[in-house]
Amino acid sequence: MTIIFHEGLPGAGKSYEAVVERIIPALQKGRKVFAFVAGLDHEKIANAAAIPLDRCKELLVQVEREQVEKIYDVVGNDSLVVLDEAQNFWPSDFRPLGEAITKFVTEHRHRGLDIVIMGQDLKDVHTLWRRRVDQKMVFTKLDALGKVNKYQWATFKGMGNEKFEKVTSGIKTYDPKFFGTYLSHEAGTENKETFVDKRAVIWSSPLFRRWIPLALLLAVAGLGYVVYMFKGGGLESVAHVQTQTKPVTTTTVVVTPSSGVAATPVAAVVPVAPAARPGKDYITDLNSKWRPRLTLYFQGARRSQAVIEWYDEGFRVKERLYARQIEELGWQVVPSAYGDHVMLVRGDQRVVASSWPIEAIGKTSLETNQALSRASGSGGAGSLGQRRLGAVDLAAFPEG
């Protein structure tokens, strides 16, 4: 036993949902229905519900407008009550309603009643009703999407204090089978078509008609270009030019014998053009110019990492690559069993990268320092004596 509110603008699907999803299922179960919905047609409802017409007239009671305000005297126990345009009978107000209607609303469960009231906005209805709505269904027209034969519904559960939480939603199509079971327009109304302004349809906006198709076209073109480049597109012509051999010029050599016999032309041997050698890859080029050094290496439980640097003769770093970058260039980074060096491998090429020491400029070995100390201890007017050697002094004694 509950109170349900159908909320939505005119033509949003409130009454259609009430007839199709509330009234007809109740009639099929043999439940009494008291409904204030304009123009209920018993014959068409009986056909839609697949029940005899007499049975439909027995179960479905059409409530008249003047009976709505005293609905408590009209309905019977254990019935379904459906009331349209509730805001016209109980408008929003904080002043209490009469005792009879208050008792009807607050004690509807004692009478076994389920009540469905409808309106354009729940806020337009009296607080007596609002505070007791257990479930709210909001209906929205989809004419802005160009779908006048569909509507959107959303169900909200009452959380108390007139607050609701969304439970579920969906889109439904009007079924012509139920057309005519009630009047969606007052009698005598001729204009029954839904007014559609193309300017109010989202698909007619410049965004959807022009810019979104253009963006999709550019996205497809960009994706195609990326795929083309990943497959080597554009590189074939360059490779073809690079692999072309130089043209070979053939010459005819004429040998004149001393005996005066006419010379016979002899075709020169055509030299065979050497096969084009593949160019060096990046790692090979680095190894040919500079010395590789293992700068960082560690091996964890799940992954390992290595950093290789290439130094010139002045101990300046010319390039630094991670192991993953080297592998992306077609080389393998194979660590030694002791982790003190790695091997860069590609085909039959193997290059050792160890953590070789880097000596600072002007630094000499221990043996050289000891030799210099002994030499300075021999005395002499120009000797260095016992003073500490500086960078200028050591530069004059190269190591080795």
Question: What confidence tens digit (pLDDT) does each residue in 197-219 have?
Answer: 555 455 456 666 677 888 888 99
CA nearest to 321, candidates 281, 343, 292, 356:
292
Residue 248 lies in a domain: no
Question: What confidence tens digit (pLDDT) does each residue in 284-317 have?
Answer: 999 999 999 998 887 777 777 889 999 998 889 9
pLDDT for res 146: 59
Beta partners for residue 297, in sequence order: 306
CATH number of the structural domain spanning residue 70? 3.40.50.300
Residue 105 lies in a domain: yes
pLDDT at residue 260 is higher than 70: no
Cβ atoms of 274 and 252 within 8 Å: the answer is no
Residue 302 lies in a domain: yes
Residue 382 lies in a domain: no
Beta partners for residue 319, in sequence order: 310
Same-domain pairing of 179 and 302: no
Residue 211 lies in a domain: no
The residue from 183, 204, 229 where one domain ends is 183
Question: What confidence tens digit (pLDDT) does each residue in 61-119 have?
Answer: 999 999 999 999 999 999 999 999 999 999 998 889 999 999 999 999 999 999 999 99
pLDDT at residue 124 is higher than 90: yes
Kindly report the length of the chain. 400
Tell me the residue range of the domain where 306 lies: 282-354
**Residue 94 to residue 158: CA distance in whole angstroms:** 20
Task: Name every residue whose Cβ is closer than 8 Å to that of residue 103 and which is 6 or more positions away in sequence.
Answer: 72
**Residue 250 to residue 379: CA distance in whole angstroms:** 78
pLDDT (mean) for 338-355: 88
Question: What confidence tens digit (pLDDT) does each residue in 315-331 have?
Answer: 899 999 999 999 999 99
The residue from 118, 153, 183 where one domain ends is 183
Residue 262 lies in a domain: no
CA nearest to 151, candidates 5, 4, 16, 6:
16
Kindly give the residue spans of alpha helices, DSSP state H, lying in the chain: 14-17, 24-28, 42-49, 53-59, 99-106, 127-130, 206, 212-230, 236-243, 282-289, 323-328, 366-376, 391-395
Same-domain pairing of 160 and 15: yes
pLDDT (mean) for 16-25: 96
CB hemisphere CA count around 128 (13 angstroms) = 20
Same-domain pairing of 168 and 33: yes
Question: What confidence tens digit (pLDDT) does each residue in 224-256 have?
Answer: 888 877 765 554 544 454 555 555 555 444 444
Task: Write down the residue that tokens 């991670």 correspond to.
Answer: 322
Same-domain pairing of 179 and 286: no
Residue 145 lies in a domain: yes
Residue 242 lies in a domain: no
Same-domain pairing of 9 and 138: yes
Same-domain pairing of 132 and 13: yes
Predicted confidence band at 258 (pLDDT cuts at 50, 70, 90)?
very low
**What total number of domains does the chain contain?**
2
H or E segment to which residue 392 belongs: helix 391-395
Same-domain pairing of 23 and 134: yes
Kindly give the residue spans of alpha helices, DSSP state H, lying in 23-116: 24-28, 42-49, 53-59, 99-106
**How far lies 41's CA from each of 83, 111, 179, 300, 338, in Å?**
16, 27, 10, 79, 92
pLDDT (mean) for 359-372: 67
The DSSP string of 121-154 is: -GGGB-HHHHTT--EEEEEEE-GGGT-TTEEEEE
Task: Name every residue whose Cβ is closer than 8 Å to that of residue 272 and which is 6 or more positions away in sequence.
Answer: none
Same-domain pairing of 26 and 151: yes
The residue from 117, 149, 183 where one domain ends is 183
The DSSP string of 16-46 is: HHIIIIIIHHHHHTT--EEEE-TT--HHHHH
Predicted confidence band at 266 (pLDDT cuts at 50, 70, 90)?
very low
Same-domain pairing of 51 and 167: yes
Task: Write down the residue that tokens 């051999």 correspond to.
Answer: 245
